[in-house]
Amino acid sequence: MITLYGIKNCDTVKKATKWLEANDKAYQLYDFKKQPLTTELLTSFVELSDWSLLLNKRSTTFRNLPDEVKNNLTDDVIFAAVLEQPTLLKRPLLPLNNELHLGFKAEQYQVIFG
């Protein structure tokens, strides 16, 4: 079964779940608001991607970070900040076939599941 990571009320996550349902893809949603983002899970995301792609710098959460965090984006600082506030991650996250797919575009999912 596919696990999609994100937040249930996120518009992009809603689009992804609608696409999965419309295309008969069984999935479960790991909702960061209801289930904690663990160190192990975040480590697995980082191993499959890069902070420059994972971090949602356009989010309100990122904009509200203290300047000392935004101006010191080392791996350790980012890791701690994301564990505390998972909404710093782009959503949805879809780990599949040893790749991590970020965000949602219908065309991208068509290729992934084609």
What pLDDT digit, counting tens, does each position of 40-76 carry?
999 999 999 999 999 999 999 999 999 999 999 999 9
2-113 CATH: 3.40.30.10
Q: Summarize the confidence of residues 11-18 as an average pLDDT.
A: 97
Predicted pLDDT of residue 5: 98
10 is catalytic: yes
CB 4 within 8 Å of CB 27: yes
In the set 4, 7, 10, 13, the catalytic residue is 10
Predicted pLDDT of residue 76: 94
For residues 104 and 19, what is the distance between their CA atoms, to the nearest angstrom? 9
